[in-house]
Amino acid sequence: MIGGGQGGNIGAVHRMAARLDGQFQLVAGALSSDPERARASGAALGLDPARSYGSFSDMARAEAARPDGVEAVAIVTPNHLHAAPAITFLEHGVHVICDKPLTATMAEAEALARAAEASPALFILTHNYTGYPMIRQARAMVASGALGAIRLVQAEYIQDWLSDAVEAKGSKQAEWRTDPARAGLGGALGDIGTHAWNLAAFVSGMEPEALAADLTSFVPGRSLDDNAHVMLRYASGARGALWCSQVASGQENALSLRIFGDKAGIEWHQEEPNCLWFSPIGAPRQRLTRGGPGASPEAARVSRVPGGHPEGYIEAFATLYAEAAEAIRARQTGEAVPEGVLYPDLRDGLSGMRFIAAAVASARQNSAWVSL
Among 6, 57, 171, 286, binds a copy of itself (CB under 8 A): 286
Residues 315-344 that bind a copy of itself (CB under 8 A): 315
Nearest CB to a copy of itself, comparing residues 105 and 329: 329
Determine, following the binding rule CB under 8 A, whether residue 13 of this chain makes contact with a copy of itself: yes
Q: Which of 281, 278, 197 is nearest to 241 (CA)?
A: 197
Inter-residue contact 213 to 185 (CB < 8 Å): no
Determine, following the binding rule CB under 8 A, whether residue 175 of this chain makes contact with a copy of itself: no
| H or E segment to which residue 36 belongs | helix 35-44
Most distant CA pair in the chain, distance: 65
Determine, following the binding rule CB under 8 A, whether residue 284 of this chain makes contact with a copy of itself: yes
Among 184, 190, 273, 352, binds a copy of itself (CB under 8 A): 273
Give the contact letters, 20-39, x = binds to a copy of itself (CB under 8 A), - = no: xxx-----------------
Q: Which of 52, 61, 113, 53 is nearest to 83 (CA)?
A: 113
Inter-residue contact 135 to 311 (CB < 8 Å): no
3-state SS, residue 370? strand
Q: Could you give the CA distance from residue 4 to residue 31 in angstroms, rounded to a whole number? A: 5
Residues 203-242 that bind a copy of itself (CB under 8 A): 212, 214, 216, 218, 227, 229, 231, 233, 237, 239-241
Among 6, 16, 361, 372, binds a copy of itself (CB under 8 A): 16
**Beta carbon of residue 218, minimum distance to a copy of itself (angstroms, whole number):** 5
Residues 137-156 that bind a copy of itself (CB under 8 A): 147, 151-152, 154
Residues contacting residue 310 through CB under 8 Å, at least 6 positions apart: 273, 274
**Beta carbon of residue 357, minimum distance to a copy of itself (angstroms, whole number):** 19
| H or E segment to which residue 154 belongs | strand 150-158
Size of the site for a copy of itself (CB under 8 A): 85
Give the E-state strand segments of 159-223 in sequence order. Answer: 210-216
Nearest CB to a copy of itself, comparing residues 21 and 345: 21
